[in-house]
């Protein structure tokens, strides 16, 4: 990674210039960002990956968020200091995009994408230690949140992801540490799954960015 030119990303023998440097400020070019995302997506997920024209609006919002364009984000009611909750129907590409976008800003703090159901399986095996493990100072994106089962450890039931979100909220308020997530559920379904207290914390933790409910299945 070139820290002096974080807008230039090299993949193999090819360099992708996502914009231009004006003094100490990067002027990003959205079309150049899309070229990079398409190329990196093919490297990560195979040659069938592609950027869809109908996703242009959501890709624009995500790009503005990740490049921290505070002025334009404010116009779109996106808070660059919060995390992202990317919602949409099954197969619309949420997980792939969250795995992909972090490569666009290698100079920013990285996050790990973890399936929520895997966290619950870890709880069933190891118990409450798992909740502490995800309430630490790392950054995470909890994938497919809301459809994971409840955890059970030695007969004790626990809404594992709900408890972890409460821990992540404390990290956000105390240390401004971001949390991201993807979900197939809408706001009412999330509240039914996690309860009103967690849902209110989620409003403070996340910017909600959503695919259209009629978005095509891209799998």
Give the pLDDT confidence of 80-125 residue by residue, as tens digits.
999 999 999 998 899 999 999 999 998 888 999 999 999 999 999 9
Q: What percent of the chain has pLDDT over 70?
A: 98
CA 105 to chain CA centroid, Å, is: 13
pLDDT band at 73 (very low <50, low <70, confident <90, very high): very high
Tell me the CATH number for domain 8-210.
Answer: 3.40.50.300
Question: To 5 degrees, how large is the angle CA 108–CA 89–CA 45?
Answer: 50
Residue 1 scores a pLDDT above 70: no
Q: Give per-residue pLDDT as tens, 16-28.
A: 999 998 888 889 9
Cα(169)–Cα(191) distance, integer angstroms: 16
Give, to the nearest 10 degrees, the angle between helix 196-205 and helix 187-194. 130
Identify the pLDDT of residue 4.
65
Q: Give per-residue pLDDT as tens, 186-212.
A: 989 999 999 999 999 999 999 999 998
| In the chain, domain spans | 8-210
8 Å CB contact between 142 and 184 = no
């Amino acid at each position: 990674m070139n820290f002096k030119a974080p807008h230039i990303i090299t993949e193999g023998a090819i360099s992708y210039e996502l914009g231009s440097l004006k003094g100490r400020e990067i002027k990003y070019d959205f079309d150049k960002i899309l070229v990079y995302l398409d190329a990196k997506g093919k490297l990560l997920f195979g040659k069938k990956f592609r950027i869809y024209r109908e996703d242009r609006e959501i890709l624009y919002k995500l790009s503005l968020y990740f490049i921290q364009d505070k002025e334009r984000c404010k116009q779109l009611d996106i808070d660059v200091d919060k995390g992202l909750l990317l919602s949409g129907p099954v197969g619309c590409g949420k997980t792939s995009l969250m795995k992909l976008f972090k490569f666009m800003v290698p100079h920013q703090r990285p996050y790990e994408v973890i399936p929520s159901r895997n966290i619950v399986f870890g709880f069933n095996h190891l118990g409450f230690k798992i909740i502490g493990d995800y309430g630490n100072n790392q950054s995470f994106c909890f994938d497919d949140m809301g459809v994971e089962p409840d955890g059970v450890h030695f007969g004790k039931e626990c809404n594992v992801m709900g408890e972890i979100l409460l821990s992540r909220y404390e990290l956000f308020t105390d240390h401004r540490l971001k949390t991201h997530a993807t979900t197939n559920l809408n706001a009412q379904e999330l509240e039914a799954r996690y309860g009103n207290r967690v849902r209110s914390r989620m409003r403070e933790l996340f910017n909600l960015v959503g695919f259209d409910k009629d978005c095509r299945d891209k799998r």
